[in-house]
Structure formats: structure tokens, C-alpha cells
Amino acid sequence: MSEQSTRLSGVEVGQSCVIEAFTDDEMKLKLLEMGCLPGETVVIDRLAPMGDPMAIQVAGSIISIRMHEAFNVIVRPLS
């Protein structure tokens, strides 16, 4: 984990980042099987109108994920 690592839930819309790790083992499996692997690039596509959940672009598709779920995804923002 590098110094700029942050949680996916805190990333701005439009920002690209790389998945580094997961802090919830059960949820990790769900994301892994959908192709959200460590090393994959994630772009925050948008937030739902009420601010939660968020839509992320990853592994060739758009996936919706709740904020508290995204909190358990550790990412490294790309500049």
C-alpha cells in the first residue's frame, strides 16, 4: 500500500484509480468474480442523485456499489 492510498468511497467523480486491496473478505469475493481485481483501473462514473450509491466503471462495465461497500475498497488515485 502506497502513501496516496485511499478508500474508494472518498474518491471524486471522474477520477481514475487503481484497485489495491479489499478490507472486507466476503464482499471482496463478490467484486473479484465480477472482474474487479487488484491492479484494475476504476473510474468513478457518477453518484446516485441522493449521493449514494456510486457507479464505477471497471473491467469493461458499470457497476453500482453502496458507499459503505466502497469504503472497503482501497485504491490508489492516478494523476
Partner 1 sequence: MQVRNIRVALVGNPNSGKSTVFNQLTGLNQKIANFPGVTVEKRSGFCQIGKAGEPGHTVAEIIDLPGTYSLYPKTLEEQVPFQVLCDPSNPSHPDVVIIVADGTNLKRSLFLCSQIVDLKIPSILVVNMMDQVRKRSITIDFDKLSHGLGIKVIPMNALGGEGVMELKKALAIELPVPATDFIDASGIAPEVVGAIRQQVRLNSSYAAFQVANNLEAIGYFKSHTHKLEKIRAALKENDFDPSRMQAVETLERYKEITELLRDITFTPAAGQEGYYRGFTKRIDNILLHKVWGYLIFLVVMFLLFQAVFAWAAYPMELVDTAFAWISGMVHDLLPKGILNDLLVEGVLAGLGGVVIFIPQIALLFMFIAILEDTGYMTRVSFMMDKMLRRFGLNGRSVIPLISGVACAVPAIMSTRTIKSWKERLITIFVTPLMSCSARLPVYTLLIALVVPQHNYGGFINQQGLVLMALYLIGFVAALGSALVLKWIIRSRERDYFIMEIPVYRMPRWKNIGLAIFEKIRIFVFDAGKVIVAISVVLWVLSSTGPGDSFRKVNTALQENEQLDKTEVNKLMAEKLRLSYAGVIGRAMEPAIAPLGFDWKIGIALITSFAAREVFVGTMSTIYSVGSTEANTATVREKMMAEINPDTGLPRYNLAVGWSLMLFYAFAMQCMSTLAVVRRETGSWKWPLFQFAFMGVLAYISSFLVYRFLS
Q: Which of residues 37-76 bind partner 1 (CB under 8 A)?
A: 37, 45-46, 48-53, 55, 57, 59-66, 69
Nearest to partner 1 of 3, 39 (CB atom): 39
- In this structure, the number of other CB atoms found within 10 A of the CB of residue 13 comes to 11
CB of 20 to partner 1, least distance (A): 14
- By CB under 8 A, tell whether 14 contacts partner 1: no
Distance, in Å, from the CA atom of 17 to the CA atom of 22, rounded to the nearest integer, reads 14
- Does 49 sit behind a cis peptide bond, omega within 30 degrees of 0 on the bond before it? no
CB contact at 8 A, 11 and 45? no
| Chain contacts with partner 1 (rule: CB under 8 A) | 25-35, 37, 45-46, 48-53, 55, 57, 59-66, 69
